[in-house]
Chain A
Amino acid sequence: MSGTYLGMPAFPTAAASSTQDGRLRANLRYATHTIRDKRAKAVAELDDWARLRAAGAAVKDRTLRHLDHYLEQLEEAVTAAGGQVHWAADAAEANAIVARLVRETGEREVVKVKSMATQETGLNRTLAEAGISAYETDLAELIVQLGDDLPSHILVPAIHRNRGEIRDIFREQMGRWGRAAPEGLSDAPGELAEAARLHLREKFLNAKVGISGANFMVAETGTLVVVESEGNGRMCLTLPETLISVVGIEKIVPTWQDLEIFLQLLPRSSTAERMNPYTSMWTGTTDGDGPRTFHLVLLDNGRTDTLADTVGRQALRCIRCSACLNVCPVYERAGGHAYGSAYPGPIGAILTPQLRGTASELDASLPYASSLCGACYEVCPVAIDIPEVLVHLRERVVQGGKVTRRGVKTVLKPAKGHAAERAAMRAAGFAFDHPGVLRAGQRLAGRTRRLHPRRLPGPGHAWSDTRDLPPVPAESFRDWWRRTRGEEQGK
């Protein structure tokens, strides 16, 4: 790992190596199975879960269909409460705004709450280039940052690391960033957490600037909400003099009352708890309590392009709970890094190619990083039909079509490398439209079955490299039906 997503290989290449990593697979299997079983129990406790889920999806749909209205309402409410609102059309602009705001405070160090949005924009790199050190304070993010690594899970970014690896990272790296790990640090989770506590406390107590994301923003009141477990979030949100929150424009809920839905859906779906240990809610600034200056940076960065796609739009309902990662058979084996973005797993497979477009080989490969088993849809607390969007995006990759990029409507050309697939699909379409052709083809295939290779020749080998060819039966189903039931049918 080099701490960047840039230039990462396409999913099949990345997954081909990660699936060979026995330790990674063992860590992932244990972690995902543990969380998925706990989640199922936490969800089963609420007998109105299906209704909460429908309400959650509906609130998000209302928000998305009238996002301009709610953005303006939110801006007005935050401003009235003493906050300052900034708008960023893309990642570079968001990072530049944050770097400028930090520079204006005169500080060279910031503490950060775990935030998907700033992971997506690569904020830490921009800050480093501006001479500003950004300290990740979530334990898992700290492990990732000290290891010059990338997060591999939305909720548990260091899910791919076991305790021995974490101890080694702490021993070797903590001293470079601040307080060194205690002598003789063991790999007991309690001791590792204590080492992190001591290491980070000196950062918190000195911090003048905090940077966060937000789980929700309430348009009606201008309230921001951050849910967390450790208290590092509370430290970053309340101790510094200046707080800068970078939040995707889709994270709005219309009313205060709407939080009653999401504060039930999110904790049970993500950490499988009735409620996460800490939730912070703040509205602008409060005299004598918390930061004196509050900046909200509203981030587009491909979200409006996603909004323009009426099928793909539902991906913006996502509340980043990570339930879909924990049930996904593909994620469990390939690991989060193979997805090459801040958003791994099934949601990443539909969100990333929409936020970034499908121009790169990696992004075009993501809609295929799925078995389409549908487990992700089952567990999604806001009912995102991930398989539907996956198929929709596959169609876009293969056939091209109308898309919006950076706010401009364009026509996407069919992706290269899918010519054989298109030809095969056209041939299949023709055969299915012409029963005689289909019958002849099936009989031919059945009679020549002993001669079939185990791998496809020519362009088909890419498909059969990672799959076993199914054996062809001696007789087609249609022939079998005709032979055994044909006479009955005639009567």
Chain B
Amino acid sequence: MSSRDVVLARVRRALADVPRGEGPGDVPVPRDYLRTHGSRTAEERVALLAENLAEYRAVVHHCAEDDVHMLVMRLLNEHGTQHVLVPPGLDPWWMAAADPVRIHDRAASTARELDTVDSVVTGCAVAIAETGTIVLDGSPDQGRRRISLIPDHHICVVRVPDQVVDSVPQALERLDPARPLTWISGPSATSDIELDRVEGVHGPRKLEVVLLSE
């Protein structure tokens, strides 16, 4: 008997008290919890996102489409970036004024190569106002999971208000579980030493979120 059979047989014996006719769907799950906490206009939703991101020590910038290339250039220069990672599908306009050398994320590049890069610029799949979270799903403007992880500086561009939802339930509805997903709420942090919060243990220590009005 394989261990699979052993474990499944144990499970079935353990559940002798469950009536034979009961199906999984017969166990009621009350879903009377809220889909969103409060109702907001699109503007208020974006404002709440900005507030919660800032509380988690992400740096938030507001920007119009016409100026985004200048903002990205300034942020990269301020960080002293010489090499910047660019996912293949990133809007070229965003990087139109940037000086640093672009490094393109290829499956063949090693983690060690990526470790020499200073910054990364990505789009996002969805942002959640109530929790201050941005979600990346590996689409061409976001790239592989590792590129938003290894460089110390991440600039994430969120198209507002289209990409912003109120809540976690609304975000899950928009996401495809078949894709690799990364949810990011503020920069990397630890509270393991006397519960003192320290930013940046392994992931980017600086997260800048550009709220791009369309």
Complex interface: chain B residues within 8 A of A290 (CB) = 144-146, 180
Verify A51–B138 contact, CB threshold 8 A.
no
Verify B146–A278 contact, CB threshold 8 A.
no
Alpha-carbon gap, A308 to B12, bound state (A): 9
Complex interface: chain A residues within 8 A of B110 (CB) = 205
Q: Smallest distance from the beta carbon of B107 to chain A beta carbons, Å?
A: 4
Complex interface: chain B residues within 8 A of A235 (CB) = 149, 202
| A106 in contact (CB, < 8 A) | no
Stretch at the interface among B62-70, B74-82, B171-179: B171-179
A31, A52, A81: the one within 8 Å of B33 (CB): A52
Tally B residues with Cβ within 8 Å of A: 74
| B10 in contact (CB, < 8 A) | yes
Complex interface: chain A residues within 8 A of B122 (CB) = none
Q: Smallest distance from the beta carbon of B62 to chain A beta carbons, Å?
A: 21
Verify A304–B3 contact, CB threshold 8 A.
no
Complex interface: chain A residues within 8 A of B195 (CB) = 30-31, 34-35, 156
Q: Smallest distance from the beta carbon of A189 to chain B beta carbons, Å?
A: 4
Alpha-carbon gap, A238 to B187, bound state (A): 18
Write out, one digit per residue, whether chain A residues 172-205 have a CB within 8 A of any chain B CB (1) or not (0): 0000000000000000011011001100110011
| A71 in contact (CB, < 8 A) | yes
| B37 in contact (CB, < 8 A) | yes
Alpha-carbon gap, A69 to B26, bound state (A): 13
- In A90-145, the 8 Å CB interface with B consists of 93, 137-140, 143
Across the two chains, which residue of chain B brings its CB closest to A240? Answer: B111
Among B29, B133, B149, chain A packs the most CB atoms within 10 A around the CB of B29
Q: How many A-B residue pairs have CB under 8 A?
A: 256
Q: Smallest distance from the beta carbon of B209 to chain A beta carbons, Å?
A: 14
Write out, one digit per residue, whether chain B residues 86-124 have a CB within 8 A of any chain A CB (1) or not (0): 000000000000000000000100111001000000000
Complex interface: chain B residues within 8 A of A278 (CB) = 182-185, 188, 203
Verify A70–B24 contact, CB threshold 8 A.
yes
Verify B15–A221 contact, CB threshold 8 A.
no
Across the two chains, which residue of chain A brings its CB closest to B29? Answer: A58
Verify B115–A279 contact, CB threshold 8 A.
no
A71, A204, A249, A310: the one within 8 Å of B17 (CB): A310
Verify B198–A190 contact, CB threshold 8 A.
yes
Complex interface: chain B residues within 8 A of A45 (CB) = 37
Write out, one digit per residue, whether chain A residues 233-257 have a CB within 8 A of any chain B CB (1) or not (0): 0110111000000000100001011
Tally A residues with Cβ within 8 Å of B: 98
A34, A138, A277: the one within 8 Å of B203 (CB): A277
Verify B203–A234 contact, CB threshold 8 A.
yes
A163, A229, A277: the one within 8 Å of B193 (CB): A163
Alpha-carbon gap, A29 to B183, bound state (A): 32
Write out, one digit per residue, whether chain A residues 364-401 have a CB within 8 A of any chain B CB (1) or not (0): 00000000000000000000000000000000000000
Verify B111–A205 contact, CB threshold 8 A.
yes
Verify A89–B6 contact, CB threshold 8 A.
yes
Stretch at the interface among A260-268, A334-342, A483-491: A260-268
| A438 in contact (CB, < 8 A) | no
Complex interface: chain A residues within 8 A of B202 (CB) = 137, 197, 200-201, 204, 230-232, 234-235
Across the two chains, which residue of chain B brings its CB closest to A49? Answer: B33
Complex interface: chain A residues within 8 A of B172 (CB) = 256-257, 259-260, 263
Verify B32–A283 contact, CB threshold 8 A.
no
* Known pairs A87-B4, A275-B183; A281 contacts B193 (CB<8 A): no
Enumerate the 8 nearest inter-chain pairs by beta-carbon distance, A residue then B residue, closest first: A231-B203, A308-B14, A231-B202, A304-B10, A279-B183, A62-B27, A275-B131, A407-B10
A binding-site residues for B, Cβ under 8 Å: 27, 30-31, 34-35, 45-48, 51-52, 54-55, 58-59, 61-62, 65-72, 81, 86-89, 93, 137-140, 143, 156-158, 162-163, 166, 189-190, 192-193, 196-197, 200-201, 204-205, 218, 221, 223, 229-232, 234-235, 237-239, 249, 254, 256-257, 259-261, 263-264, 271, 273-283, 286, 288-290, 298, 300, 304-305, 307-308, 310, 404, 407
In the complex, 23 of the A-B residue pairs with CB atoms within 8 angstroms, ordered by the A residue number, are A30-B194, A51-B33, A55-B33, A68-B8, A163-B193, A189-B198, A193-B190, A193-B193, A193-B201, A196-B201, A230-B189, A231-B202, A231-B203, A234-B203, A238-B144, A238-B145, A274-B130, A275-B185, A277-B185, A280-B145, A288-B107, A300-B7, A407-B10
